[in-house]
Copies of this chain bind each other. A is one copy, B any other.
Amino acid sequence: MSTMPNWLLKRAGLTPRRKALVFGRKSWSFEEMLHIVLETADNLAFLPIFKGSRAAVLMSNRPETVFIIHALQQIGAEVVFLNSRLTPSEWAFQLNDCKADILLFEKSFEKSVQQLSVTTKTVCINRLPKETGQLKIREEFNLDEVCSIMYTSGTTGKPKGVLQTYGNHWWSAAGSVLNLGLREDDMWLCTVPLYHISGFSILLRSVIYGIPVMLMDKFDEKKVNDALSSGKVTIMSAVSSMLNRMLSELGDETYHPNFRCLLLGGGPAPRPLLESCKKKNIPVYQTYGMTETVSQIVTLSPEDSLVKIGSAGKPLFPFQLKIMNEGREAAPLEPGEIVVRGPNVTPGYLNRETANKTSFQDGWFSTGDIGYLDEDGYVFVLDRRSDLIISGGENIYPAEIEEVLLAHPSVIEAGVTGVADEKWGQVPYAFIVSRDDISEERLVDFCRERLAPYKVPKKFIHVGELPKNGANKLVRRELVQFLK
């Protein structure tokens, strides 16, 4: 069976008066949202956008973005999500790569859009046609159909467009609900960008689960803490750097007991951070996922959130995971490449025959990430493969060193990367944001006590801020820019 009822139409039919979206002081019920979305879809149809059109969006976290994304689903157009932090030349690459039919952009991006060298038609969403009467309501969604395309950061080579089907999104939502549960009073806070899977998946879950999204235009620790202390928000998606800032702002306070789940993604989390949360009874669920697995594939269970610190958990109910090392399944505790399988996994990259052949085998997707399973079957993600530092034949995982550095009272943020070295091939360099002028000598001593000699960074560079992507994840490969 490969069809389902049209999600938003069905949800608005089932629970019309439940809240769907909260933004500042405004809110919309599912019925109200459907009304706006159908009208918007009808307007968009006049551009024209058809079923099967490929429509890129360059918009920020605002209600209009939510309505337009849903409207494109109502038409049956594929949505290409452009990361608003990129440069016009990077956008142009993506628009050309996917041969987008149209680019819908918010007024604030107008100047940048004018610099684009693309043949794609561009339309500002403030100037949509006001005509209606064209739209044919889709009663059903086909689960094999492409819903969205997101380009991965791509540490080597050019970014690749990840195809995400309706079925991928459905199974992701189903897998998550069996882990996190679902309550009538749930509300999911979204401060992560809608153009990343972390944000977009919240929008879809809202419709599938029948719960509201509280949307914020950007991450602001004060506003987030207010929301989590109000008792209205029950679930939030975040990455470590956000959580760090939230905890600093929170001081000695803690959150409302209704706040039942902080889904912490975006790479391995530093242990000191997790331990601070444990002390405050903040229910952190470490999670592991990526654009290609269309959100989480591995997440801690409620009963493990405070006991298996450092682990991302186990693969969710419908999904499978194994660790491969030199062509065979690794033993417990033996690191290797994380390979996953499930109906949430992308059918592949757009027009990337070679990458598709390399990454997908017999239904299994090779993530390129390194991790291991412990004796109880918990997944520990060590690092992104591309971040692996190989020094004198020894493998060094930057996250391990960063974790040590973050445990030092003077260190606020830390990033480690490999730098070419005549003698060793590569050596680790550390880049830190510190509270005070802590000396290199003391940091070396601190590391030496906790790490094998070859893992101790050869240099410590004090910086004002670490490079991060739109999802607030550390971008290690950009650390070397500080050396220029």
Which residues of A line the B interface, CB within 8 A? 1, 4-5, 10-11, 13-15, 17-18, 139, 167, 171, 174, 177-178, 181-184, 208-210, 301-303, 314, 317-320, 342-343, 363, 377
Contact = CB atoms under 8 A, between A and B. Distances in A.
Contacts of A210: 178
A320 B178 contact: no
Contacts of A167: 1
Given A181-B183, A182-B177, A10 B317 contact: yes
Could you say how many copies of this chain the assembly holds? 2
Contact of A342 (B1, B17, B208): B1
B319 A5 contact: yes
Contacts of A342: 1
Given A174-B174, A318-B4, A342-B1, A184 B181 contact: yes
A343 B167 CA distance: 13
B177 A318 contact: no
Nearest to A302: B184
Contact of A178 (B17, B209, B363): B209
Contacts of A5: 317-320
A181 B178 CA distance: 10
A303 B18 contact: yes
Given A4-B318, A13-B314, A17-B303, 14 more contacts: A1-B343, A1-B363, A5-B317, A5-B318, A5-B320, A10-B317, A14-B301, A174-B174, A178-B209, A178-B210, A181-B181, A181-B183, A183-B183, A184-B302
A11 B317 contact: yes
16 contacts: A1-B171, A5-B317, A5-B320, A11-B317, A14-B301, A15-B303, A17-B303, A18-B303, A174-B174, A177-B178, A178-B208, A181-B181, A181-B182, A181-B184, A182-B182, A183-B183
